[in-house]
Amino acid sequence: MKYCVDVPNFGVWSDPKRFAEFARQVEAAGWDGISVWDHILVWDGAEVADPWVLLAAAAMTTERIRLMTLVTPIPRRHPWKLSRECVSVDLLSEGRLTLGVGIGWPTDPEFTRFGGETDLRVRADMLDEGLDILTGLWTGEPFGFQGEHYQLEEVTFLPRPVQQPRIPIWVAAMWPQRRPVRRAARWDGIAPITFDIERNEFFEPTLEVIGEISDYVAQHRTADEPFDFAFTGIFRPNGDLRRWHADLADRGVTWWRYTWDPEAGIEHEAWLADVQEGPPVW
């Protein structure tokens, strides 16, 4: 299993210089990747950075770690603009980008405030079309697209990404919703969260739930290539961390993301100290 540090693109991380220095420290501490959220307006007055500027800055201060967005909501971005951003960061990092995608959450204010699409099913369709456009443009061959939500006259985008046949794509999913998991199974990885729609609240998944997600992905995979399962968790200082991570790996988890969530009740300085200690590997 590999280990990733995951941070929002707002608050203290809205300063690209600070993020770049933090990425350097993350790499020096032995982590395998750093991922950043993709928001544009969290609340009025929030300090927010563009994640692609953050990743470009991090690419200049690191040499080894994967650089990721988790996740970029394609329905509020132009896929052709996102294509350019992805390839630019992939080139700058010499092939270390992983693109995490989703429909965007929550709807308010990031869609409502700017006249964006508020229907989740429509956004899911936009995500599928956007992914087709991204991968078509990344080929460097003439490509056009006529869909319900996006139309693109034939065009050739160069340069191509460093990574071939394309940049890896991970898809976010809210379990127990099935359609996002089936979508993820068609790509290169899944970044699931567990959310009780009836109660309108997130819940911490059990090993049984993690196994259910992994099994459902396997049932819908049609490719033989490796598939990543990125699990978001916290350190468990009062438990058997070695056993916990072994159990996660047994259920198909390939990446463990240590997330700074401002609403999780974890003191920021304590979280930073944990990061500086490096990932919990043996």
Q: What is the pLDDT of residues 209-265, one digit of tens each?
A: 999 999 999 999 999 999 999 998 755 445 567 788 889 999 999 999 998 876 666
pLDDT band with cut points at 50, 70 and 90 for residue 268: confident
Give percent above pLDDT 70 in the chain.
95
Q: What is the mean pLDDT of residues 42-69?
A: 97
Among 27-36, 55-64, 254-263, the minimum mean pLDDT is found in: 254-263
CA angle 177, 254, 69 (to 5 degrees): 70
The pLDDT of residue 237: 47
- Residue 197's pLDDT is 76
> Over the chain, what is the mean pLDDT?
93
pLDDT for 193 beyond 50: yes
- In the chain, where are the structural domains located? 76-166
Mean pLDDT computed over 64-84: 97
Closest by CA position to 97, among listed 162, 3, 29, 23: 162
Residue-wise burial string across 185-211, b where 16 or more C-beta atoms lie within 10 A, e elsewhere: bebbbbbbbbbeeeeeeeeebeeebbb
Average pLDDT over residues 103-109: 93
> What pLDDT, on the 0 to 100 scale, is given for residue 44?
94
